[in-house]
Structure formats: C-alpha cells, structure tokens
Amino acid sequence: MAKIPPDPAGRYKKPGLKPVAHRAAGSAKADRPDPADLYAALDLGTNSCRMLIAQPKGSQFHVVDSFSKSVQLGAGLEASGLLSRSSMARTVGALKICQKKLRHHDVRRMRLVATEACRRARNAREFISVVERETKLALEIIEPEEEARLAVISCAPLVSVKTEQLLVVDIGGGSTELVWIDLSRVPKLDRPRAIMRLHTGFDAKDSAFPAAKVVDWISVPLGVATLRDQFNDVDDDAARFALMSWFFEENLAEFSPYNDADQVREGFQIVGTSGTVTTVAASHLGLKRYDRNKVDGLRMTSDQIDRVIQGYLHMGPEGRRTDPRIGGDRHALIMSGAAILQALLRVWPTDRLSVADRGLREGLLYAQMSTDGVLEEGPY
C-alpha cells in the first residue's frame, strides 16, 4: 500500500538520511518544485500548530516542507473562556515561521484552518485579526463536521480491503472526533477509494460511492488538553486517569451507531490518528527516536495498548517526563490521551487498531488536490 513519502524536514524526516548534494552550483533553484504544483495545509489546534507543503505525486503526495510546534493556544481556556495573551503571542510566533516557509516556496494554493480552541474562545475573532495583521495569514475556523471529514479521508490509505465497519478516531487537543462508516456494500478493492471520496461531504448522495455510508459521527469537546484541565485538581495519578477515562466514556452516550457491539466484530477496524496513538505505538515498539515509517500503519491489539498504558501508570509523572519514547512535549498530555483511548477500546474492543501518523493537514491536502483533479485514480 502506498505511503506518504518522507519530506526533507520536520517529523517526516527519515533518520539517518542526508540531503542529496546539488551537482552544480546554482542548480538549487532549478531543483525547487514549481510553485504552481504546490499546496499547503496548516492546522492550528488547541495544543499544536502544524503545517505541510506538498505536491501531488500519483494518487498520493510528496511533502516538500513541514512545520510542527507545541504552542498551547488553549492554555487556560477551560477556566476563562479566553485565549490568553501569552498563548496568542506564542502562536503568532509559530505562524510567522509558517509564513516565511510559504513565502520561501511561493505557495499559492493553501488552506489554513483553526479548530476547537478558536471555536470555543470568546476572543477568537480578535485573535484571527491579530494573526492576519502580524503574519498576513488568513486563518479559517472550521466546523467540527469538516474537521471530522478531513481526518477520515487522511486515513484512507490505511483502510483494509477486508474492513466492513470502520471507526476513525481523531484525538485532538481540545476535541475528539469519531466517525463510523459502513463499507459492507462497497466492493473490497474500492473501499480505500470510497473513504477518500467522502471529502465532498458525509451525505451519501453527494458521494461518488453512495454505498460508503456514514452511520454516525460526533465531535466530543474533550481532547488531551481539555480533559486534563477538567481533572487537574485530582492529585492521585491513577485515580485521575480512571476518572478521565470514565468521564470521556460518559460523553460518548450520544454516539451509538450500533447498540450491540457483537454486531460489528467481524470486519471491524479502528483507525486512530493523534499524537496519543502514535506515542503509544512508539512506546510499544520501544523506539528511542521516533520513526514515522515504523509507526504509521502499525496495527496494535487491545492487549498491547493496555500494556503500554499500564506501563505509563507504573512510571508515574516523573517517569513519564523523562521517558524518551514519550517526549518533552507529550508527557503532560499522554495520560489524558490514554484515558480517551482506553475508553474507546472498552466500548468497542478490537484487535485491529491501525495507527495513523496523519490527520487534518493530510486531509486538507487530499481535499484540495482531489477538488483540483490533480491526483491520479488508483489504489491508495
């Protein structure tokens, strides 16, 4: 199955590879991609600011440049309902770097979106205006349905042709999106492509593959940052984890695609996309240094995930802070993310959870390229 190839920068960089030297002085400009072929996607979430610049390549895309930084835009939002001045300043600083990259590559087609933190903050419009004044970037606050839809199509390459019932879970900083899709009436070889075509909407009549049915979807206003903030006053580590997990499960009550879990065990696949899921996968593999090529597309069983989570609990806060597999930016958020993941597997047990190191940015790129008709039809 085709994979998004590594890029020359950021998290997409493959460890150990060195850039290829130019054969002649002055050839760098000639080797740069044509700006007319480039697309950009920026995802400003509650915790992170991420961007990809890419060009279409067959039925996939090739990443030209990338950026990712923890900006903690939603810090303090749960209590105040406002984006703080320090959070906005950090974020504007990150966006200035993105703006320089966009200008360097002369990117002309882009979507720059903001999600849950900006949906909730009372001063979000003021922040958007500050961003435009300081960086010349026009951020667009998207609705939960579009966020869920874009997360789904980014995961299309990981959907098995054997999958009949698919649950895509995107655990963000401020919200968690779940989308349940029935693929049982789609011919097996068309199933990944049917997912990709959902970029036009969740309504089956708008899809080129009407048999790919979105049974139910929900955006739960709890992500790794907002769930953690809800239980910051609980001192005991294990008790806090248990409370977070059960609280998240309670918030899933309105999401009921099927009443009986036994109905969906045959041909059922969960695809999880988030820093939580990729961190759990890296811990399971024992990676000392993150390697996207080993993590993206990995399948994990419920038992393997539970062992990793129990290991996190055994470490305690200090052990998690110093564990290289978790990383400095993730240690304070990993247990709230793990609580969400545990709740999902408690409700829908599976031995086929696929790990996706991809999400909103990739979905934005696929949607733009699909709309422009620059992606080749073919296997994903």
Checking phi first, is residue 293 left (phi over 0); if not, alpha (psi -120 to 50) or beta?
A: alpha
User: What is the mean predicted confidence (pLDDT) over 186-190?
Assistant: 87
8 A C-beta contact, residue 321 and residue 312: no
Report how far residue 3's alpha carbon sits from residue 60's, in angstroms, rounded to the nearest whole number.
Answer: 8
8 A C-beta contact, residue 183 and residue 160: no
pLDDT digits over 2-36, tens only?
A: 344 444 334 444 333 333 333 334 444 546 788 88
The domain ranges of the chain are 10-142, 146-360
Of residues 58 and 32, the one with the higher pLDDT is 58
**Tokens 């903690």, residue located:** 72
Q: Report CA torsion sign: 255, 365, 185, 355.
A: negative
Between β-strands 165-171 and 140-141, what pairing exists: parallel, antiparallel or unpaired? unpaired
**Tokens 């930084």, residue located:** 69
Q: What percent of the chain has pLDDT over 70?
A: 85
Burial degree of 203 (CB within 10 A; 0-12, 13-18, 19+)? exposed
Report how far residue 236's alpha carbon sits from residue 11's, in angstroms, rounded to the nearest whole number.
Answer: 34
Range of lowest pLDDT (35-39, 46-50, 274-278, 376-380): 376-380
Range of lowest pLDDT (19-28, 236-245, 357-366): 19-28
Q: What is the mean pLDDT of the chain?
A: 86
Burial degree of 277 (CB within 10 A; 0-12, 13-18, 19+)? buried
Transcribe 289-325 into DSSP letters.
Answer: S--HHHHTT-EE-HHHHHHHHHHHHHHHHHHHHH-TT
Report how far residue 192's alpha carbon sits from residue 187's, in angstroms, rounded to the nearest whole number.
Answer: 10
Quote the tokens at residue 240.
């806090």
pLDDT at 171 over 60: yes
Residue type, 278: T
The distance from CA 264 to its chain's CA centroid, rounded to whole angstroms, is 25
Please determine whether the domains at 10-142 and 146-360 fall in the same fold group of CATH.
Answer: yes
Between β-strands 140-141 and 109-114, what pairing exists: parallel, antiparallel or unpaired? parallel
Of residues 22 and 328, the one with the higher pLDDT is 328
Quote the tokens at residue 67.
């950026």
Quote the tokens at residue 137.
């970037």
The pLDDT value recorded for residue 211 is: 65
pLDDT at 126 over 50: yes
Smallest CA-to-CA distance from 300 within 342, 249, 262, 331 is with 342
The pLDDT value recorded for residue 86 is: 97
Helices then strands, each counted (H, E), the chain: 14, 11
CATH number 3.60.110.10 given to 10-142: no
Quote the tokens at residue 187.
């011919």
* CB-CB neighbours of 235 under 10 Å: 7
* CB-CB neighbours of 303 under 10 Å: 9
User: What is the mean predicted confidence (pLDDT) over 108-123?
Assistant: 96
The pLDDT value recorded for residue 42 is: 98
**Tokens 């703080």, residue located:** 84
Highest mean pLDDT among 3-12, 252-261, 306-315: 306-315
pLDDT at 365 over 80: yes
Report how far residue 205's alpha carbon sits from residue 5's, in angstroms, rounded to the nearest whole number.
Answer: 33
Range of lowest pLDDT (75-84, 102-111, 192-201): 192-201
Report how far residue 339's alpha carbon sits from residue 140's, in angstroms, rounded to the nearest whole number.
Answer: 30
Report how far residue 155's alpha carbon sits from residue 168's, in angstroms, rounded to the nearest whole number.
Answer: 8
User: What is the mean predicted confidence (pLDDT) over 332-342?
Assistant: 95
Give backbone dihedrals phi and psi of 85, rounded to 5 degrees, phi first.
-60, -40
The pLDDT value recorded for residue 270 is: 94
Q: 146-360, what's its fold? A: Nucleotidyltransferase; domain 5 (3.30.420)
